[in-house]
A = this chain, B = another copy of it.
């Protein structure tokens, strides 16, 4: 065996992690390190040539990152991709041609009818049909509510969804996290946010003009109703992903969806205010029971004790946290609730890894 591999289970399948040094890749390695046991015969870390040679400890063994190349996939059974869309678009098919199943966390293949879009606790049954050898991982915003909606849909048949998001900076990668911290530091101790533009001006004076930001407006002491890119009729790519991916994952092609995606000054963990209408009546008690029975959901819903999920209180965790469950007063068969999910874990790395685990069990 080569110097770049770490033997874990000599006879197990070979797992490759493409994008091992990125924000999501780093969380992926944390997740692998945190697992009680793993099924892998070898774990291979792959990244851009710039990061090749870097050493990273995985399950007690120091691995050397190797450069992305067709040969890097030799002997790989499952290749997880946490790279930009265009890199996945080019390289996932190469990995698949080499015989690996590519589990891709980019947006490149999510809406491809020949690529299943999988959240294991919702539609694990779709893992088997993968004519392209590629399985896609959903967008982090969509993923934050899928465990909760999937569980309710099984019992009550989801029909309509109105969603407003409170999305964390880290959805935009490490540069976006750094920007938020820098803005907070520049604004601390200043009484800004009381006059139009004073936040912008203070950032500019601190050498942080908005033109240099990954966000189109100040994020600290602000909220920004924009995520992704502009699509038809004023909708953003992020809002359309919530609609289209929810339909595909839940298997409801006619699901009615309106989403408004808003970035908030939170480091990590997306939150969503969800207004969901079902074919049948659903009470708060029934919803609580269903959420409590779902291993990937933690119910935090005791308003009398002011218990509800907030991003800063749940970040770093694997589950989806659900609270503020209310039966709509004026809409039949409708629940309003609030969910928080770590967008780097269940929203990205964790779900991708859970798909890989599911595949390993079937190999």
A residues bordering B, Cβ < 8 Å? 160, 162, 164, 166, 181, 184-185, 187-189, 191-200, 216-218, 220-226, 230, 233-236, 243, 255-258, 260, 262, 264-268, 271, 273, 275, 284, 301, 303-304, 306, 308-317, 323-331, 334, 336, 338
Complex Cα spacing A243 to B315, Å: 32
Complex Cα spacing A284 to B232, Å: 12
Task: List, sorted by A's number, 18 A–B pairs whose CB atoms are closer than 8 Å.
Answer: A164-B260, A166-B166, A181-B189, A184-B220, A193-B266, A196-B316, A218-B310, A218-B312, A222-B312, A223-B310, A225-B271, A226-B324, A234-B303, A255-B330, A258-B329, A260-B324, A262-B273, A275-B275
A205 → B minimal CB distance (Å): 15
Residues of B within 8 A of A224 (CB): 308, 310
Given contacts A216-B306, A223-B271, could you give 8 more A-B pairs where the C-beta distance is less than 8 Å?
A166-B262, A192-B267, A196-B314, A200-B313, A224-B308, A234-B303, A235-B326, A260-B338
A199/B329 in contact, CB under 8 A: no
Select which of B181, B304, B311 is within 8 A of A222 by beta carbon: B311
Residues of B within 8 A of A326 (CB): 233-235
B262/A217 in contact, CB under 8 A: no
Residues of B within 8 A of A330 (CB): 160, 243, 255-258
Complex Cα spacing A260 to B304, Å: 17
A273/B189 in contact, CB under 8 A: no
User: Are A225 and B273 also in contact (CB < 8 A) when A194-B315, A218-B310, A325-B234 are?
Assistant: yes
Complex Cα spacing A120 to B326, Å: 33
Residues of B within 8 A of A271 (CB): 223, 225, 262
A199/B164 in contact, CB under 8 A: no
Complex Cα spacing A54 to B330, Å: 49
User: Are A329 and B235 also in contact (CB < 8 A) when A193-B266, A221-B312 are?
Assistant: yes
Complex Cα spacing A349 to B196, Å: 18
Complex Cα spacing A267 to B313, Å: 21
Residues of B within 8 A of A225 (CB): 271, 273, 308-310, 323-324, 338
Residues of B within 8 A of A160 (CB): 330-331
Select which of B192, B230, B309, B311 is within 8 A of A304 by beta carbon: B230
A306/B256 in contact, CB under 8 A: no
Complex Cα spacing A324 to B261, Å: 10
A267/B221 in contact, CB under 8 A: yes
Residues of B within 8 A of A184 (CB): 184, 187-188, 220-221
Complex Cα spacing A271 to B263, Å: 12
Question: In the complex, what residue of chain B is closest to A317 when comparing beta carbons?
Answer: B196
A115 → B minimal CB distance (Å): 23
Residues of B within 8 A of A311 (CB): 193, 222-223
Nearest first, the 5 A-B pairs at minimum CB distance are A193-B267, A164-B164, A188-B188, A256-B330, A164-B273
Complex Cα spacing A7 to B331, Å: 54
Question: In the complex, what residue of chain B is closest to A224 when comparing beta carbons?
Answer: B310
Complex Cα spacing A353 to B45, Å: 65
Question: In the complex, what residue of chain B is closest to A310 when comparing beta carbons?
Answer: B217
Complex Cα spacing A198 to B315, Å: 9
Complex Cα spacing A313 to B194, Å: 10
Residues of B within 8 A of A187 (CB): 184, 188
Complex Cα spacing A180 to B189, Å: 11
Complex Cα spacing A212 to B206, Å: 31
Residues of B within 8 A of A181 (CB): 189, 191
